[in-house]
């Protein structure tokens, strides 16, 4: 009975790979030229809009999976901002990354509620299972592991996010099953 209840807590979205900006999930990876072409389309649309930098960076990260230098240079040019300003914004927000991430980003909540309800043990289990530390990516490029500070689901602690999915009341014994589910999903970033 308890087992069934735990399983129901998992908020697992089969189609979580689609991007809000219209870049679609696909098994094959696009070339850098194709990714840059998508970025160009976005820049054309946003270049004259005030406050465009952060939304454009978010969309660029969604397209590339991270923010490569070539994209930052293009953004800085098209939005008429200095490269150092763009790089400064990227460095300020932890959700931006200038290094490639795994196909799936795992973030474990270490906010107070989650911490006291087993968030640390959850993180240790993930580190053991993935054989990586926080901030690293698995050798096969499948998962990156990060920590976070509250997803607003404290009543259902401990929580973690995989990509856009919030997974609640996670039991360490369920980690392997959860990871297998994500391994079998189509990949993002094409």
Contact residues for ligand FES, defined by CB under 6 A: 109, 111-114, 150-151, 153-154, 157, 159
- The distance of closest approach from Cβ of residue 159 to ligand FES in the complex, given in angstroms and rounded to an integer, is 5
Bridge pairing between strands 143-148 and 104-109:
parallel
- The distance of closest approach from Cβ of residue 156 to ligand FES in the complex, given in angstroms and rounded to an integer, is 7
Phi, psi of 20 (to 5 degrees): -70, -25
Q: For the chain, report the end-to-end CA distance as a whole number of angstroms.
A: 41
- The distance of closest approach from Cβ of residue 17 to ligand FES in the complex, given in angstroms and rounded to an integer, is 23
The residue number with the shortest CB distance to ligand FES is 111
CA distance 67 to 116: 34
Smallest CA-to-CA distance from 126 within 110, 112, 113, 111 is with 110
CB nearer ligand FES, residue 34 or residue 112: 112
What are the tokens at 20?
């809000």
CB nearer ligand FES, residue 17 or residue 109: 109
Whether the CB-CB separation of 103 and 141 falls below 8 Å is answered with: yes
- The distance of closest approach from Cβ of residue 126 to ligand FES in the complex, given in angstroms and rounded to an integer, is 15
CB nearer ligand FES, residue 52 or residue 110: 110
Residues in the chain: 190
CB nearer ligand FES, residue 104 or residue 107: 107
- Does residue 189 sit in helix, strand or coil? coil
- The distance of closest approach from Cβ of residue 88 to ligand FES in the complex, given in angstroms and rounded to an integer, is 29
- The distance of closest approach from Cβ of residue 151 to ligand FES in the complex, given in angstroms and rounded to an integer, is 4
Give the list of residues 6+ apart from residue 41 with CB closer than 8 angstroms, or none. Answer: none
Cα torsion angle, 108, 110, 114, 120, sign = positive
CB nearer ligand FES, residue 142 or residue 154: 154
């Amino acid at each position: 009975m308890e087992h069934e209840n735990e399983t129901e807590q998992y908020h697992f979205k089969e189609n979580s790979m689609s991007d809000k900006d219209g870049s679609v999930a696909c098994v094959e990876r696009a070339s850098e030229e194709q990714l840059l072409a998508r970025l160009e389309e976005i820049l054309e649309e946003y270049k004259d809009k005030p406050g465009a930098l952060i939304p454009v960076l978010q969309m660029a990260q969604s397209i590339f999976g991270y923010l490569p230098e070539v994209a930052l240079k293009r953004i800085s040019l098209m939005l008429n901002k200095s490269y150092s300003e763009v790089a400064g914004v990227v460095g300020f927000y932890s959700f931006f990354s200038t290094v490639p991430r795994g196909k799936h980003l795992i973030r474990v909540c270490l906010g107070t509620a989650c911490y006291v309800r087993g968030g640390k043990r959850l993180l240790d289990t993930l580190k053991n299972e993935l054989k990586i530390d926080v901030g690293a990516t698995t050798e096969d490029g499948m998962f990156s592991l990060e920590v976070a500070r509250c997803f607003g689901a404290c009543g259902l602690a401990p929580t973690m996010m995989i990509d856009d999915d919030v997974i609640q009341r996670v039991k360490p014994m369920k980690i392997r099953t959860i990871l297998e589910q994500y391994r079998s999903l189509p990949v993002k970033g094409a």
